[in-house]
């Protein structure tokens, strides 16, 4: 039988499943990343307007997808932890934040590198650029809340509220190019009428997107294992300290 959400609530059971899954996640990341880079560099054409700079797309676009996806995971896990008190939900949200922030920073940097030859500027206060920058600050704020409060229960609740409220920025990012005048082109992959990008470009784009997704899953899995191990160690040290205190008092 497949493990349910509440089966995974047991940290020891989660660790056992995660340990078995981790090598497969890493292997999938390596395979898809290798294929994605090969197709992006050697098996896809240069754009007739953008030239070779279009290849930045294969790093930038999946990073932007993952920036939104990771925050969605954080908001969803935060809601589960806040409402149903799932013991691993807050851990998942907490450990997903640095990964999501890294993807967001990568999207901002590669977007700037791509924008310079296309727009003639490293940065413009475009609606999408600005909303993605706000997303990056939301990640930073979320991580800062966790670090600001030593009480993990209180930190989890405050961070969850920030994550849930901040989720309003996700649809703003998604639809900003349709709601406001934007330097960015409208959606060309995930759209009602189907993709407008040629298949030779879609293949490396999806391969890189899959590689990023498996990288996220592998990194999140290992980070959660490390966090749970650190919490177990902290509890054991606390128990040991209390036992020593009682012995001294006696």
CATH of the domain at 168: 1.20.120
Residue 183 is predicted with a pLDDT of 65
Q: Kindly state the average pLDDT of the residues 194-210.
A: 84
Dihedral sign (CA 113, 114, 120, 122): negative
User: Is residue 237 one of the residues assigned to a domain?
Assistant: no
Answer whether 115's CB lies under 8 Å from 122's CB. Answer: yes
Q: Which residues pair with 60 in a beta bridge?
A: none
Confidence of residue 199 (pLDDT cuts 50, 70, 90): confident
Q: In which residue are the tokens 């997107």 written?
A: 209
What tens digit of pLDDT does each residue of 87-106 get? 899 999 999 999 999 999 99
122/116 Cα distance (integer angstroms): 5
Looking at the 3D structure of the chain, how many domains does it have?
A: 1
What letters, b where the CB count within 10 A reaches 16 and e where it falls short, cover 174-186? eebbeeeeeeeee
Residue 116 is predicted with a pLDDT of 78
Maximum separation of any 2 CA atoms in the chain, in Å: 82
User: Is residue 2 one of the residues assigned to a domain?
Assistant: no
Closest Cα partner for 141 from 101, 87, 105? 101
Task: Look up the pTM and report it.
Answer: 0.89
Q: In which domain, by residue range, is 158 found?
A: 21-185+199-225
Residue 177 is predicted with a pLDDT of 75
Confidence of residue 184 (pLDDT cuts 50, 70, 90): low
User: Is residue 42 one of the residues assigned to a domain?
Assistant: yes
Answer whether 246's CB lies under 8 Å from 100's CB. Answer: no
What tens digit of pLDDT does each residue of 120-170 get? 788 888 888 999 999 999 999 999 999 999 888 999 999 999 999 999 999
User: Is residue 234 one of the residues assigned to a domain?
Assistant: no
**47, containing H or E segment:** none
User: Is residue 154 one of the residues assigned to a domain?
Assistant: yes
113/116 Cα distance (integer angstroms): 6
């Amino acid at each position: 039988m497949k493990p349910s959400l509440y089966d995974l609530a047991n940290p020891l059971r989660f660790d056992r499943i995660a340990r078995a899954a981790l090598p497969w996640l890493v292997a999938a990341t390596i395979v898809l990343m290798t294929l994605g880079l090969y197709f992006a560099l050697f098996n896809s054409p240069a754009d007739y307007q953008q030239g070779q700079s279009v290849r930045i797309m294969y790093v930038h676009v999946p990073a932007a997808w993952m920036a939104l996806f990771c925050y969605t995971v954080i908001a969803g896990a935060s809601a589960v932890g806040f409402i149903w008190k799932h013991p691993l939900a807050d851990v998942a949200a907490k450990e997903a934040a640095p990964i999501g922030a890294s993807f967001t920073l990568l999207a901002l940097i590669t977007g700037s590198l791509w924008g310079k030859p296309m727009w003639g500027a490293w940065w413009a206060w475009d609606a999408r650029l600005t909303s993605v920058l706000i997303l990056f600050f939301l990640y930073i704020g979320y991580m800062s809340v966790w670090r600001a409060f030593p009480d993990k229960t209180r930190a989890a609740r405050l961070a969850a509220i920030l994550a849930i409220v901040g989720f309003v920025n996700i649809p703003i990012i998604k639809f900003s190019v349709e709601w406001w005048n934007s330097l960015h082109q409208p959606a060309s992959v995930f759209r009602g009428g189907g993709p407008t990008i040629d298949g030779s470009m879609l293949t490396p784009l999806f391969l890189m997107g899959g590689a990023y997704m498996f990288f996220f899953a592998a990194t999140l899995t290992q980070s959660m294992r490390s966090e749970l191990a650190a919490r177990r160690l902290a509890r054991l040290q606390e128990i040991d300290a209390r036992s020593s205190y009682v012995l001294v008092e006696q």
